[in-house]
Amino acid sequence: MSADDVGRLPDSRAEVAFIGRSNVGKSSLINMLSNRKALARVSKKPGSTELLNCFEVEGVGTLIDCPGFGYAAKSARVRDATQRMVDRYMLERKQLTMVVLLVDGEIGPTKLDLEMLGWLRESGVPHSIVATKHDKLKAAQRGKRQRDVAVACNLAPGDIIWVSAAKGTGKDQLLSLVRVWLSLAP
Ligand code: GTP
Ligand code: MG
């Protein structure tokens, strides 16, 4: 189900939320983790996720697909209201055990990504970084890009989880992490 405010979310034991720029691949990643093609709505058109979309993993917890940030074609007013909703969710939701910030592995972290990362750090929200679209990098680019993304985020390369929803890269690694995060229920 979906909610337009943290106060209207359904009950859950524990939640892992996926955030990131519009089009970075949040919905695709949730589909990969759940072995489904179209559980979460995927679109070439950015800004297609507008609510907090909840996907219950039976008996374990809930994955939350959040609206993307920074979609320029939406009015500033809509963008601000949506971001406030997501920020409130991240600050207030007791069951939220991990926020997964997705960065586009093909283009690297943008200014907006780094602002969000700074906000997560300042706010003390538990977070992890996933770099998406690994399949879009040429083999020769991969090592350097992995180092560059880590340096930009002020992390070690091993701290960043690389995935490809298109190829299934990183799926097992991320699934075991998600299980651990969901087991941290309050
Ligand atoms: P919003 O809902 O707008 O915030 O976007 P989102 O972050 O949910 O992105 P979504 O999953 O809808 O994917 C956006 C586009 O990127 C789609 O065209 C996807 O097919 C494509 N995409 C997502 N993940 C991958 C990937 O691992 N590899 C490749 N090649 N394309 C991907
Ligand atoms: Mg989406």
CATH number at residue 40: 3.40.50.300
Q: How far apart are CA 169 and CA 131, in angstroms?
A: 11
163 Cα nearest atom in ligand 1? 27
Q: How far apart are CA 79 and CA 44, in angstroms?
A: 19
Task: Kindly report, residue by residue over 48-95, the tens digit of the pLDDT.
Answer: 667 899 998 877 899 999 988 876 666 777 778 889 999 999 999 999
68 Cα nearest atom in ligand 1? 4
Cβ of residue 169 lying under 6 Å from some atom of ligand 1? no
From the list 48, 47, 52, 50, the residue with the least C-alpha distance to 73 is 47
What values do phi and psi take at 55, rounded to 5?
-125, 110
**Cβ-Cβ contacts under 8 Å for 131 (sequence gap 6 or more):** 102, 103, 104, 105, 146, 149, 160, 161, 162, 163
**Cβ-Cβ contacts under 8 Å for 58 (sequence gap 6 or more):** none
Q: Going by CA atoms, what residue is nearest to atom 28 of ligand 1?
A: 133
Cβ of residue 106 lying under 6 Å from some atom of ligand 1? no
Structure tokens at 133: 């679209």
pLDDT at position 157: 94
pLDDT at position 185: 86
- Domain ranges, residue 153: 2-182
Cβ of residue 170 lying under 6 Å from some atom of ligand 1? no
Cβ of residue 46 lying under 6 Å from some atom of ligand 1? yes
Q: Which of 2, 18, 22, 23 to mutate to test the pocket of ligand 1 (most atoms within 8 A of CB)?
A: 23
pLDDT at position 69: 84
Report pTM: 0.94
Query: How many independent structural domains does the chain possess?
Result: 1
